[in-house]
Amino acid sequence: EIVQSDLDYSICDREPIHIPGAIQPHGAFLAARVDTSVVTHASANLDEMLGISAGAALGQTLRQSIGALASGTILDAISRDHSALYQLSGWYGKDLHLTAYRVGPQVCIDVEPVSPSVAPISPVHRVRAVLDAFRSAEGQRELCALAVRSLREITGYDRVMAYRFDTDGHGEVIAEARGCEMDPYLGLHYPASDIPPQARQLYLRQRVGAIVDSRYRPVPLLTDRTLDHGTPLDLTCSTLRSVSPYHLAYMQNMQTAASLTIGLAEGPELWGMLVCHHRTPRNPGPELRAAADILGQFVSTLLGPLGEAEAARKRVERNATMMRLAEQFASAPTMLEAFAATESELLDLVDAAGAIISFAGVVRCIGRTPPPGQAERALARLRDESAGELLACDDLGLRHPELSACKRGGSGALLLPLVGADDAMLWFRPEQSRTTRWGGNPAEPALADAATGLISPRASFAVWIQTVSGHSAPWKEGDIAIAHEFRKLIEGETARRTKAELTQLR
């Protein structure tokens, strides 16, 4: 038995998923040297697609496997251009789609049957028809909502999600289109370890990936020692690449047989993914993959500008809130009345759910806070700790076990000391929502696979429940900056009122 703290995630991070030495069985694979055109690798199922066995193809020239015209066209394109598409029509009674690309000194070729199910209107045309609508989106979420709806209409998968990464690497489903018989995943959060770093890297380079049947048996690549120098072939760019057994187990836990995944990038960073799930095996084929790629790239291009527009809108909103606060504090008869008249502005200012305010000897709670006694204790505790400075934490109950009762209503705490020694404001954010739905019982202890000692996706999930518990959404720079501004407002206002009182007395 292995306990949670012993789980070793570096196993996931170290898995070399780009060189599995195998492919998924819905296609066949060939690699040849660009200089000599000698075939160095062939998938064991080559004869099913091309009518020539892997053994017979290895060591021969490419033209033996795919004919003179195809091999000439591909090698010519590769020598200039790095990638090529070719349709082999009527090859031993089959129509085959060849995707060729260069990997070092080799040309690699993914061989797939021409999609049997291409709709009368091609997927690329259907994608083109929806892209214009994407330009009307006013924010990233709205864009993703449009994208998942369109992608589901075009691809027909049971569920299509937009999955966005947070700065700590964990992800949230921020948009979803699904068949009515599917459980909703919208708003659920998943741990960073579900998609290890090398998988993220891979989705930046090869934007689209498809898993056709999570129960497939990998088809090994055959080679000949004299031909391949023993260096494993990098399958990053192959649409047929056999995927991690961890991830296949994960999909089975999720009752998903097939997935189509499109990496979304904002500049050089992986921003998130569009993830399509199907309960039964599903092969999107080259046309749909290309259409999904175009859609994904279009979404990626819009993400940056929309993110900036949203941030700008947020700044404008906060400045407006700040202006209203300034007006109220200038015009209210007393400071205490100003605090009472501006409850919603005070919370909106930093996106808090609640706050406790101590001013001129009066303490009051507004909005959603921990129970008043607890809130007051938290205020006193943090005020002592803060030494007059602003203090922010997103794990109050974990950091201060004596305040653990604050967890639900106030995992997040932002303390702003005000003018007088006892004057302060403490904003609260609730514990962040997290998924409680899973193919299995998340309360089960996280156990590693007894046979292998390796950790299982279920284990990863149980650890996550433990990790996120007690955390709120993090306070960001903008929150801190506007809180400082608010303090200046209060300082200015207090000074002005004191001066006015003194003048009256004279």
To the nearest whole angstrom, how small is the minimum distance from the Cβ of residue 107 to ligand BLA?
23
Q: Which of 259, 283, 342, 358 binds ligand BLA (CB under 6 A)?
A: 259
Does residue number 176 form part of the binding site for ligand BLA (CB under 6 A)?
no
Residue 392 near residue 369 (C-beta atoms within 8 A) = no
Residue nearest to ligand BLA (CB): 12
What is the total residue count of the chain?
A: 506
Residue 369 tokens, joined: 């806070």
Q: CB-wise, 163 or 271, nearer to ligand BLA?
A: 163
According to the binding rule CB under 6 A, does residue 275 interact with ligand BLA?
Answer: yes
Question: What mask of x and - would describe binding to ligand BLA in positions 400 to 439, judged by CB under 6 A?
Answer: ----------------------------------------
Choice between 11 and 114, CB closer to ligand BLA: 11
CA–CA gap between residue 350 and residue 293 (Å, rounded): 38
| Cβ proximity to ligand BLA, 193 vs 321, nearer residue | 193
Q: The tokens of 418 are what?
A: 């005000």
Contacts of ligand BLA in 112-171 (CB under 6 A): 161, 163, 171
Question: To 5 degrees, how large is the angle CA 52–CA 53–CA 56?
Answer: 90
Identified binder of ligand BLA from the candidate list 43, 45, 261, 300, rule CB under 6 A: 261
Region from 37-45, 118-126, 192-200, 371-379 binding ligand BLA, contact rule CB under 6 A:
192-200
Kindly state the smallest distance separating residue 34's Cβ from ligand BLA, in Å: 26
**Is position 17 an interface residue for ligand BLA (rule: CB under 6 A)?**
yes
Tell the smallest beta-carbon distance from residue 252 to ligand BLA (Å): 12
Whole-number minimum distance, CB 435 to ligand BLA, in Å?
Answer: 8
> At residue 429, what are phi and psi to the nearest 5 degrees?
-125, 140
Question: Taking a C-beta distance cutoff of 8 angstroms, is the pair 277, 159 a contact?
Answer: yes
Rounded CA gap, 299 and 10, in Å?
32
Nearest-approach distance from CB 291 to ligand BLA, in angstroms:
17
Told to check if 190 binds ligand BLA by CB under 6 A, we report yes
Position 15 contacts ligand BLA (CB under 6 A): yes
Q: How far is CA 484 from CA 22, 385, 392, 417, in A?
A: 57, 18, 12, 10
DSSP code, position 179: -
- The span from the CA of 163 to the CA of 273, in Å, is 5
Q: How far is the C-alpha of 306 from the C-alpha of 203, rounded, in Å? A: 22
Q: Residue 506 has which token pair?
A: 């004279």
Contact region for ligand BLA (CB under 6 A) — 12-20, 56-64, 334-342, 378-386? 12-20
272 is a site residue for ligand BLA (CB under 6 A) = no
**Taking CB under 6 A as the criterion, which residues in 436-455 touch ligand BLA?**
455
Q: Is residue 53 involved in binding ligand BLA (CB under 6 A)?
A: no
Chosen residue from 342, 460, 472, 494 binding ligand BLA by CB under 6 A: 460
Phi and psi (nearest 5°) for 185? Answer: -110, -5
Binning the chain into helix, strand and coil, the percentages to the nearest 5 are 45, 25, 35
Query: Closest by alpha carbon to 7, among 467, 465, 456, 469?
Result: 456
CB within 8 Å of 214: residues ≥ 6 apart:
248, 251, 252, 256, 257, 258, 259
* Interaction of residue 271 with ligand BLA, rule CB under 6 A: no
Q: Helices 285-331 & 140-155, crossing angle to 10 degrees?
A: 160
Tell the smallest beta-carbon distance from residue 212 to ligand BLA (Å). Answer: 11
Q: Find the shortest distance in angstroms from Cβ 44 to ligand BLA.
A: 19
Q: How far is Cα 170 from Cα 191, in angstroms, rounded to an integer?
A: 5
Report the residue number, 208 or 335, with the smaller CB distance to ligand BLA.
208
| Count of Cβ atoms closer than 10 Å to residue 228 Cβ | 17
Whole-number Å distance between alpha carbons of 436 and 465 = 8
Of these, 44, 175, 211, 325, which contacts ligand BLA (CB under 6 A)? Answer: 211
Report how far Cα 232 is from the mean position of its chain's Cα atoms. Answer: 30
Handedness of CA 285, 288, 294, 299 (dihedral sign): negative
Question: Nearest approach, Cβ of 236 to ligand BLA (angstroms)?
Answer: 10
* Residue of 24, 193, 239, 411 that binds ligand BLA (CB under 6 A): 193
Burial of 293 (0-12, 13-18, 19+ CB in 10 A): middle
Binder of ligand BLA out of 115, 244, 252, 467 (CB under 6 A) = 244
Residue in 290, 301, 351, 293 with CA at minimum distance from that of residue 137? 301
Minimum separation from the CB atom of position 251 to ligand BLA (A): 6
Smallest separation (angstroms) from ligand BLA to the CB of 199: 4
Candidates 188-196, 218-226, 311-319, 409-417; binding stretch for ligand BLA (CB under 6 A) = 188-196
Q: Site for ligand BLA (CB under 6 A): how many residues?
A: 29
Contact call for residue 196 and ligand BLA (CB under 6 A):
yes
Contact 185, 194 (CB under 8 A): no
Q: Does 24 bind ligand BLA (CB under 6 A)?
A: no
Interface ranges with ligand BLA (CB under 6 A): 11-12, 15, 17, 161, 163, 171, 173, 185, 190, 193-196, 199, 209, 211, 243-244, 246-247, 250, 259, 261, 273, 275, 455, 457, 460
